[in-house]
Amino acid sequence: MVELAQLLIYGVVLGSIIALGAIGVSLTFGVLRFANFAHGDYMTVGAYLVLPFYAGLQLPVAAAVTLAIAGTALMAVLIDRLLFERMRNAGPLVLLVSSFGVGLMLRSAVQMAWGPRTLVYESGIQLPLLFGPLRIKPDHITIIIGAVLLVLAVHLLLTRTRMGKAMRAMSDSPELARVSGINTAQVILFTWVAGAALAATAGFFLALDTNLRADLGWHFLLPVFAAAILGGIGRPYGAIAGGYVIGIAQEFSTLVISATYKPAVAFAIMVAILILRPTGILRGN
């Protein structure tokens, strides 16, 4: 039972990171109707942008993360203006392939800027906090609390603000939203900002839990998309549930398989949901 409880803690930590990434994917898909395969590399850029502010300028971690979020959001908006916006009418397949190219360019840019070696925010061993037989690192507490606060912020955005309601309307029917007088260009802009902010935060949390490397987000893209599909692609609330299901399932799988194969669990769940319920758990019949 102690081992299961410890794995549950690790699963909640991992699920928190996956959920943040999956919400960004779902928001982008819901409004723009295309799967952004560069989303994982947005996570990587966000994680790396924390480094010069935190380790270089010695800013407080909250300030460093805020600046990294702003930088990632600006990058996402510029990429949309320079590339995705020009291809919007070409169809989702063209946008999807283009996003692959954007991801490759961002990965290469990160390698050129910071090199191919693995980096960390802080060196040294972090002693875990003990709760009876259970152990939890302070960074894990930061990740869980940060994810809960961001999920609450997304909920308030979608339910209590005019922009959030406009995003939901455009997700349900872009044509109806347009004829209803909603400024769709503004909604698209805000969607990129919100998605990039969530991606940058998820990337920072992932690097905080592991380390910094140029393929950080790329290797994390599978569980993120598995969570988004499991919850119903385009459904932010489903992405939250899917993130925690995938995270906990991956950690529990280490009871029977090697931890190396944890991503295979996300892939298996994704394939199963596509076969058995392709609309996702929150899409309905």
Residue 211 within any structural domain of the chain: yes
Phi-psi category of residue 166: left, alpha or beta, with phi > 0 → left and psi -120 to 50 → alpha: alpha
Indicate the pTM of the whole model: 0.94
Residues 116, 109: Cα–Cα separation, whole Å: 11
Backbone angles phi, psi at 12, to 5 degrees: -65, -40
Flag whether 63 is in a domain.
yes
Residue 148 lies in a domain: no
Q: Looking at the domain assignment, is residue 84 inside a domain?
A: yes
Q: Is residue 23 part of a domain?
A: yes
Per DSSP, the three-state class of 258 is coil
The CA-CA-CA angle for residues 77, 167, 171, to 5°, reads: 105
CA nearest neighbour of 29 among 245, 180, 227: 227
For the chain, the straight-line distance linking the first and the last C-alpha, in angstroms and rounded, comes to: 37
Q: Which domain holds residue 208?
A: 2-120+155-276
Tell me what pLDDT residue 127 has: 78
Q: State the pLDDT at residue 285.
A: 40
Q: Give the chain's domain count.
A: 1
Residue 63, φ and ψ in degrees, nearest 5: -70, -40
Inter-residue contact 256 to 209 (CB < 8 Å): no
**Spatial contact of 194 and 79, defined as CB atoms under 8 Å apart:** no
In 3D space, the residue among 215, 147, 197 whose CA is nearest the CA of residue 11 turns out to be: 147
Asked if residue 128 is part of any domain, the answer here is no
Of the candidates 108, 100, 39, 119, which has an alpha carbon nearest to the alpha carbon of residue 75?
39
- At 264, which amino acid appears? A
Rg, Å, the chain Cα set: 19
Residue with tokens 């702003």: 70
User: Which residues, given as ranges, of the chain have pLDDT below 70?
Assistant: 283-285
In a domain, 142, yes or no: no
| 190 lies in some domain | yes
